[in-house]
């Protein structure tokens, strides 16, 4: 059933792509060498090689056996007002179907990767440090912690903007990961951390709780089994989120992106993936 739905979604995606292409001038492909037709891995880190057997189109496609994150060398400038459509063709040729994630690695104005915990606040957790915090502390005192959750993938974000505008995102001033306990001590709340905090800030500093999450923006395939015949995965993304880690908006602070494929996700060499015709277009719609 899943396969049927997926194929239906594919047909729809392909139809939309084809009609858009027919109506307008052919848009520029921002995914350089996405069709593998240089016969090399130019612009792509993570594939094994370009091969000529069983291609989707042209003379070459890419092959990757076993798990690897694959990314474009090109950092593509992202404009918030434009619509980006990413598509690619995939085929499993291994003993088991390949599992893929397909989308983007978001990067900030300094071309640094934006990690999920830098942009993913827990709503309503803005407060201040009740006491100075040292790098080696495993206990952090905050003024109010009623909405803080003790979670193994939680962080303290320091120097947080509590105006509701989230101007501190992406916030790179994070504690180590893991809050074991959030306890009401009357005058203040005590956070017990899994590891030493790793940050040094004075009492009164504004803080907020952040959470880890999906590592990248899996816009075109959010974990998908690939068939032994060629199939297309596609996704559309537009605008920058104010906070959080959505799959249909750029994460806060995104100015550049690399195209990302998690090929044969956590699989061994019984999974073997062919990839061809990766296309990224930018439009005014």
CA 147 – CA 206 distance, rounded (Å): 15
Q: Of 3, 16, 52, 58, which one interacts with Ca ion (CB under 5 A)? A: 58
Q: Count other Cβ atoms within 10 Å, centred on residue 11.
A: 11
Q: Write the interaction track for Ca ion spanning residues 200-239; mark x where CB under 5 A is met and - where it is not.
A: ----------------------------------------
Q: Is 278 in the site for Ca ion (CB under 5 A)?
A: no
Q: Is 63 in the site for Ca ion (CB under 5 A)?
A: no
Of 137 and 276, the one with the shorter C-beta distance to Ca ion is: 276
Return the structure tokens found at 196: 């030493």
Closest listed residue to residue 253, CA positions, set 161, 176, 154:
161
Of 35 and 115, the one with the shorter C-beta distance to Ca ion is: 35
Would you give the distance in Å from CA 6 to the centre of its chain? 22
Compute the least distance from the CB of residue 34 to Ca ion, in Å: 9
CA 71 – CA 73 distance, rounded (Å): 6
Span of 49-57, 71-79, 116-124, 180-188 interacting with Ca ion by CB under 5 A: 49-57
Beta strands in 1-150, from DSSP E residues, in sequence order: 44-45, 49-51, 61-65, 68-72, 76-77, 83-92, 99-107, 127-128, 139-142
Span of 34-42, 93-101, 132-140, 263-271 interacting with Ca ion by CB under 5 A: 34-42
Q: Count other Cβ atoms within 10 Å, centred on residue 269.
A: 11
Compute the least distance from the CB of residue 28 to Ca ion, in Å: 18
Q: Of 276, 278, 280, 281, which one interacts with Ca ion (CB under 5 A)? A: 276
Interface with Ca ion by CB under 5 A: which residues? Answer: 35-36, 57-58, 61, 276
């Amino acid at each position: 059933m899943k396969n049927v739905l997926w194929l239906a979604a594919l047909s729809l995606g392909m139809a939309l792509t084809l009609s858009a292409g027919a109506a307008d001038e052919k848009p520029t492909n921002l995914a350089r060498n996405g069709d593998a037709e240089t016969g090399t891995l130019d612009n792509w880190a993570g594939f094994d090689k370009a091969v000529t057997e069983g291609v989707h189109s042209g003379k070459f496609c890419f092959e990757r056996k076993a798990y690897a994150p694959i990314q474009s060398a090109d950092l593509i400038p992202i404009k918030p007002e434009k619509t980006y459509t990413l598509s690619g063709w995939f085929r499993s040729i291994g003993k088991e179907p390949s599992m893929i994630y397909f989308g983007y690695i978001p990067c900030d104005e300094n071309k640094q990767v934006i990690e999920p915990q830098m942009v993913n606040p827990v709503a309503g957790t803005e407060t201040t440090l009740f006491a100075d915090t040292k790098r080696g502390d495993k206990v952090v005192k905050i003024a109010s912690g009623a909405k803080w959750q003790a979670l193994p993938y939680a962080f303290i974000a320091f120097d947080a903007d509590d105006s509701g505008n989230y101007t501190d995102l992406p916030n790179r001033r994070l504690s180590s990961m893991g809050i074991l306990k959030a306890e009401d001590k009357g005058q203040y709340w005590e956070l017990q951390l899994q590891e030493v905090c790793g940050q040094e800030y004075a009492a009164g500093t504004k803080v907020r709780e952040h959470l880890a999450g999906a590592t990248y923006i899996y816009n075109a395939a959010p974990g998908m089994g690939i068939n032994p015949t060629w199939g297309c995965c596609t996704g559309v993304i537009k605008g920058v989120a104010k906070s959080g880690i959505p799959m249909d908006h750029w994460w806060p602070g995104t100015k550049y992106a690399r195209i990302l494929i998690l090929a044969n996700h956590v699989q061994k060499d019984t999974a073997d993936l062919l990839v061809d015709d990766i296309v990224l277009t930018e439009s005014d719609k």
